[in-house]
Structure 1
């Protein structure tokens, strides 16, 4: 039987994953503090009072800014503090609930990313809005959580002969104990993981962001091309819509409706 092996959230789009022992999911809002913030490029217009979903190309992201992977970040929802380190060395700790803290974060990334930031990036947030890649598709996709079947990652490793770090795929839920690619058949089927009920929305297509090594920040693979060459598609993982509130914990079992 399949089992949850790891859980993550990504408070700031494009920045590092935060491992958690459990995730609380809500039908109305998805996963709290997941892609809650984003760093809009200096040329991006985004109105927090009237947020409109934008393609990820309007923000700092791994597909274009692999230097982000060299940073480790931690966000504390209770204090609003974002901490940034590199190689264990503290670089910045700022309170995102205050304008001065947000400005300090923006100036840090303006200097760190350089011309690719297209000016000073803006740390953006909006009520009831998430900066997920699926946000441009529908509200359901905006609030969806993502899942990776580790057996599918191993199947790709076998075909490419490369070791592939699962965090390249930046999912919320990682499971093991399934057949490779079993998740591809979950579209419109109900999935239970821990207490919440979910529904398969769509397979997750992969872009060049997954070619960035999360440990070295180097672009050292061509995984979308490898997926297409070996399996006839560029998908790995699945988006899940939350149907009922509940919590998922590491070690929880999962079941898929027939």
Structure 2
């Protein structure tokens, strides 16, 4: 039996994780607000009236835009305001921009901020995109990304360096499993997650985004290469699809099989 130690959402694709204590999960949906917004290149063709899954290269993301990790962002559900923070040369955190993502003027401010912040890395200008009920995940299915912390520790031991689990941008962090145990769960395996039910979809292949240190915004590790060299694959964590509604909270059991 595994135990949920952390829950996270990522309201804007490529930006900060936001810790949660409890969520209500709905069948065939992500954690509420997870990857609800994305920062797209001007050349990206996305129609909010007919949303479809697009490759992550159509958006700003850590794999290509590691400077995003130098920012801390907070999204306020009640007001729709996104606040963007960074540390100055004195080590003090300051607000760089704050604006509503549901107001035309606010959206324009956010788009201008990222266009300037990532000058030279953006194809045209940045545009904020969203569509009701759509998630800008790396996969088309609406899923939870589940990370086994024992597996992260095994990689730490292999490279003899600490690894922040947030490199893997998971929704659910799990303790009380053996390293790599999650990769033994067969596709279709049912999981009791708090009072919700999930189904294992597939392992998560890791890309160069995991090379970026979420604290320093530096590319200081080679995670995919390390996985391949030591274990013969690039997978870490599994995607799980919610198939029955329920509550999931930090401290809950994560049972497979049940």
Query: Does the pair score TM above 0.5?
Result: yes
Could you give the per-residue CA deviations for residues 181-218 of structure 1, whole angstroms, max 9, x where no partner exists? 11112221011121110010000000000000000000
The CA distance in 2 between the partners of 1:5 and 1:178, in whole Å, is 12
2:131 equivalent among 109, 123, 126? 126
Aligned to 1:61: 61
Q: Is the 8 A contact 2:86 2:95 kept in 1?
A: yes
Tell me whether 1:219 sits opposite 2:219 in the alignment. Answer: yes
Aligned to 2:98: 93
Aligned to 2:21: 21
Could you give the per-residue CA deviations for residues 220-247 of structure 1, whole angstroms, max 9, x where no partner exists? 0001000000001000000000011111
Alignment of 1:89-238 (within 5 A): 89-135=94-140, 141=141, 143-186=142-185, 187-238=187-238
Runs of 4 or more above 4 Å deviation: none
The CA distance in 1 between the partners of 2:28 and 2:153, in whole Å, is 34
The CA distance in 2 between the partners of 1:29 and 1:201, in whole Å, is 14
Query: How many residues in Structure 1 have an aligned counterpart in Structure 2?
Result: 252
Distance 1:54 1:158, change over 3 A: same
The CA distance in 2 between the partners of 1:12 and 1:254, in whole Å, is 27
The CA distance in 1 between the partners of 2:212 and 2:206, in whole Å, is 12
**TM-score between both structures, scaled by the size of structure 1:** 0.95
Q: 1:30 Cα deviation (Å)?
A: 2.5
Could you give the per-residue CA deviations for residues 109-166 of structure 1, whole angstroms, max 9, x where no partner exists? 000011111121110001221100002xxxxx2x111100000001111111111110
The CA distance in 2 between the partners of 1:71 and 1:220, in whole Å, is 17
Structure 2's unaligned 5+ residue stretches are 88-92
Could you give the per-residue CA deviations for residues 32-87 of structure 1, whole angstroms, max 9, x where no partner exists? 10000000012212111111211000000000000000000011121111111012
SS in structure 1 opposite 2:174?
strand
SS in structure 1 opposite 2:192?
strand
Q: 1:92 Cα deviation (Å)?
A: 1.0
Aligned to 1:138: none
Aligned to 2:31: 31
Structure 1's unaligned 5+ residue stretches are 136-140
Q: 1:253 Cα deviation (Å)?
A: 1.3
Please, what is the CA RMSD of the aligned residues?
1.0
The CA distance in 2 between the partners of 1:204 and 1:30, in whole Å, is 16
Q: 1:257 Cα deviation (Å)?
A: 1.1
Q: 1:28 Cα deviation (Å)?
A: 4.0
The CA distance in 2 between the partners of 1:247 and 1:146, in whole Å, is 17
